[in-house]
Structure 1
Amino acid sequence: MTYDYEVTLIGQTFEEDEIGNQIPVETKMAILCDKKSASRSEFYNAAAAGLRPEFVLVVHAYEYSGEQVVEFEGSRYRVIRTYATGFEELELTCERVIGNG
C-alpha cells in the first residue's frame, strides 16, 4: 500500500473563556494516507440509509484517534464508517460535508 496522499484529521477540544463557558477549538493533524473508491455495494447500502460515501481513505490505525471530520484535497468530509483491515491499517469511509456541516 502506498501512502501518496495527505489528509488532515480534525478533532475538537474544549477551552474555557474568562467566564467559564466551554468553547470548542479545532485540533488538526496532517498524516499520509491512501485513497480507494467506495465499493458499489457499500455505496448503495449507505444510500439506502441516507448516506453518500464518496471514497475510502486508508490510514495507519495508530494515527487515528476517532476524529469525525477530515480535510482532503481542499474539502471537508465526515467519517461515516471506520473499518480495521489489519493490525496497522484502518479504512475511513467519507462523505462530503455540505455547508457548515
Structure 2
Amino acid sequence: MRYNDVIYLISKTIEYDDYGNPIEKPIKRKVYANRMRVTTSERYEAGQQGLKPSKRFEIYSFEYDGETSLKHKDTTYNVMDVDERGDKLQLVCDKDVGT
C-alpha cells in the first residue's frame, strides 16, 4: 500500500501568558498514512458505547507518540482507538464536533 494521504498528528502543550494564565497550544506533525475503511462491526460496537467512528488511518508505529487528535483535509478527528499491528498501527477516529 502507498502512504499517500497526509494527516497531521496533533499533540498539545501548555504555555503561559504574561499574567500566568495557561494557554493550550497545538503542535502538528505531518505524517503520511493509508486511509482505511471503518468496518460495520466496529461501527456497531462503538455505537453501543455512544461513539461514532468515521475514519481509520494506518501509519508506521515509530511515527506515533500518543497524540489524541489528528487533522485530515481540514477536518479534525479525535483518536478513539489505537490498534498495533507489528511495525504499523491503525488509528480509529471520530469527527471532532467542537471544531
TM-score tier by shorter-chain length is: over 0.9
Equivalent pairs, count: 99
Residue 52 of structure 1, CA deviation: 0.5
Residue 22 of structure 1, CA deviation: 1.9
Structure 2 CA distance, aligned partners of 1:10 and 1:61?
Answer: 16
TM-score by length of 2: 0.93
Structure 2 CA distance, aligned partners of 1:11 and 1:72?
Answer: 15
2:54 is the counterpart of 1:75: no
Instruction: Show structure 1 runs of 5+ residues with no match.
Output: none
Percent identity, aligned pairs only, is 29
2:46 is the counterpart of 1:15: no
- Partner SS state of residue 44, structure 2: helix
- Partner SS state of residue 97, structure 2: coil
RMSD of aligned C-alpha atoms? 1.1
Structure 1 outlier segments of 4+, above 3 Å: none
TM-score by length of 1: 0.91
Instruction: Show structure 2 runs of 5+ residues with no match.
Output: none
